[in-house]
Structure 1
C-alpha cells in the first residue's frame, strides 16, 4: 500500500510538505505542489480517512435523520436511505443513521463533532427540529419542506403538484367525483408535510375543475381500507375515481375492490402517488412515481455544497410525469 512517505520520496519533499499540500493549511509553491500532485497521481495514493479528517478538521461523515414513526412506510424510507448512502460514497462520505425523533441526538452528534453535516427526513409543516437545526453549527439539508425553512436548504417531491396532476388526468377522462385515500390519520395529526401538501393540492385541483372531492385518511390493511371506502361513499356517493397516497394500503385496496366485484378501471379508476418500489402489487397502476433515488442524490449534493462553503439556501421540488399503466378509464354511464 502506498504511503505518504512513498509520495514524499517520489516528489523529493518531506512528508510534512505532502501533508500541507493535501490539507491546504500552508502555502506551498506552485512547482512543489505540482510535483507532489503528480507523485500522488502516479502512485495512486489515497490518504487514510482518519488522516484526512485530522488534516481538514472534517470527519467525512454525514448524519441522516430518518425517524421510524408508526405512520411511515419503512420500505419507502429505505429507498431514500439507500440513495443517500450510495451518493455519499461517491463523495467519499460515510453516513451515520439516526432513527430517533428526539432533538438530543441532533445536539449530540453536532456538539461532539461526529458529523460534517446533517440530512433530515420526514419534515412536518411546523417542525420543531428546525429551531434546533438552525442553532447548530452544522450545514443541514431537509428532505421535505416546512412552512418556514428558516434559511435551511430543502429538497422534496412536489406532492401538491402530483395531486393536481392526478386530478387533472381523471377529470380529463370525465370523472367528476374523485376521492383521495390518504396517509394514515396520525400523519395528518402531526402535520406531516407530504400528507398536507397532497391534501391541499387535491382540494385546489378539484375546486378549479368544478368537480367534487373527498379526502379520507386510511389505515393500511383490509379493515382500514374498508372503513375509509365506506366513509368516502357516505360523503361522496357515486365516487368513480380514487387517488391513493398510501403505498401500504394499495394491496388491500385492490383485494377489497375485487371482493366487492368492482373492476379497475371499468368500475373505478385508480391513480397512485407512490414510491415506485413501495408496494408489492398484483397489477400495475397508473401512477405519479415519487423519485426517491433522485431526491436522496440531490439532497447529498446540496449538503456537500454547503459543507464546502456554499451558504445560499434553496428549495427544490421535483416533479414526476403521470405514467399511464391502464388503471384509469372514462367513467361508465
Structure 2
C-alpha cells in the first residue's frame, strides 16, 4: 500500500504538505498542488477514508448531478465527469452520481439525508429549479454553469457569452457581413440552458455592434435536420458566408452539405465551431474553433468543493476565457 511519505517523496515536498493538499485545510500554491496530485495519481495513493470520516464527521462523498439527456453531447459531459472523479480520488473523496432528471427532489434527498458532504450540479439552466432547494438547505455546492442569479453561489464555466462574441468577431474581422449560428436542439433553448442561451446572447450582441447581419437556427444535429436548417438559411439569406456551429453532432453534416451546395470551405464559406479540440482537429478541413475546457471545468469544480469544505471562501463565479484557434476552415470573405 502506498504511503503518504512515498507521495511526498515523489512530489518533492513534505508529508504535511501532501496532507494539506488532500484535506484542503491550508492554501497551497497551484504548482505544488499539481505536483502532489500528479504524484497521488501516478502512485495510486488512497487515503484511509474511514479514518478521515471518523475524524471529521464527514461522509467523504461528493454528489454529482449529471445530465442524461438525448439532446446533450455525451463525450463532453463524460470528460467533465472523469476530471471530477480523478480529482476526487486524489483528495480521498468518493462520487455519488445522480441523474439530472431527479431535479429538485434529488438535491433535497441528498441534502436531507447526509448522503454527501457537498454537491456539484451540471446542466445548469437560467431559471434552474434546483437552486432554491440548495439555498434552503445551505449545502455546500458548486455549479458547472451559470443561472440568471448567481448571488451567494459558487459557479465555474467557460465564458460562453464571450465565446459567442469571439466567434462573431472572428467572422466580422474576415469581412463576412452575413453570418449564422447553427445551435443546439430546440429543447435546449426551451429549457433556457445557460451555456446555449449565453452563447446566443454574446453572438447577437457582438454582431449588432459590428454591423453584421446575423441569424440563429436551432438544429437537432441529424443529417436531415442540418440539411433543413442550412437550406432555410440560404433561402432566406443567400449571401450568408460565415457559420458558427454550437452543436457537435451537426458539424460533419454541415461540412458535407456545404460541399453539396457548391460552397467550398473555406473559399466560399467560413466555419467556426464551439466544440472539443479533438473534434476540430479530426474534421476535414480542420476547424477554426473555441474548445470546451471540460477537464479544467471538472477539476476546478472539485477543487472549489474542497475549498468550501475546508472553510475557505468560495462564493463567486469563475469564468474561463475562450481561446479561439484559427485553423483551415475560416478565410477572408470574397
TM-score (norm 2): 0.83
Q: Shift in Å at residue 326 of structure 1?
A: 1.1
2:85 aligns to what SS in structure 1? helix
2:100 aligns to what SS in structure 1? coil
Q: Shift in Å at residue 2 of structure 1?
A: 11
**Corresponding residue for 2:160?**
159
Distance 1:251 1:46 in 2: 42
Give the one of 289, 300, 322 matched to 2:291: 289
1:80 aligns to what SS in structure 2? helix
* Pair 1:265-2:261 in alignment: no
Structure 1 ranges of 4+ moved more than 6 A: none
**Corresponding residue for 1:234?**
235
Distance 1:105 1:58 in 2: 20
**Corresponding residue for 2:134?**
133
**Corresponding residue for 1:224?**
225
Distance 1:263 1:71 in 2: 29
- Where do residues 1-333 of structure 1 align in structure 2 (5 Å cutoff)? 48-102=48-102, 103-277=104-278, 281-332=283-334
When Rg is computed on C-alpha atoms for both structures, the one with the higher figure is 1
Q: Deviations over 1:45-70 (max 9, x none)?
A: 98631222122111111011112122
Q: Give the conservation status (yes or no) of the 8 Å contact 2:83–2:298.
A: yes
Distance 2:109 2:69 in 1: 21
Distance 2:314 2:275 in 1: 31
TM-score (norm 1): 0.83
Q: Give the conservation status (yes or no) of the 8 Å contact 1:275–1:289.
A: yes
2:82 aligns to what SS in structure 1? helix
**Corresponding residue for 1:7?**
none
Distance 2:101 2:223 in 1: 29
Distance 1:200 1:47 in 2: 45
Q: Deviations over 1:32-89 (max 9, x none)?
A: xxxxxxxxxxxxx986312221221111110111121221111111111111111112
Distance 1:86 1:2 in 2: 17
Q: Shift in Å at residue 299 of structure 1?
A: 0.9
Q: Deviations over 1:120-179 (max 9, x none)?
A: 001101111100111224200000000012411000001110111111111111111010
1:101 aligns to what SS in structure 2? helix
Q: Give the conservation status (yes or no) of the 8 Å contact 1:130–1:149.
A: no
> Unaligned 5+ residue runs, structure 2?
4-22, 24-44
Distance 1:304 1:276 in 2: 28
After superposition, the CA RMSD in angstroms is 2.1
Q: Give the conservation status (yes or no) of the 8 Å contact 2:119–2:139.
A: yes
Q: Give the conservation status (yes or no) of the 8 Å contact 2:100–2:123.
A: no
Pick which of 277-286 and 182-191 moved more.
277-286
Check 1:2–1:123 CA distance in 2 against 1; reply closer, same or farther (3 A cut): closer
Q: Give the conservation status (yes or no) of the 8 Å contact 1:80–1:293.
A: yes
Q: Shift in Å at residue 282 of structure 1?
A: 4.1
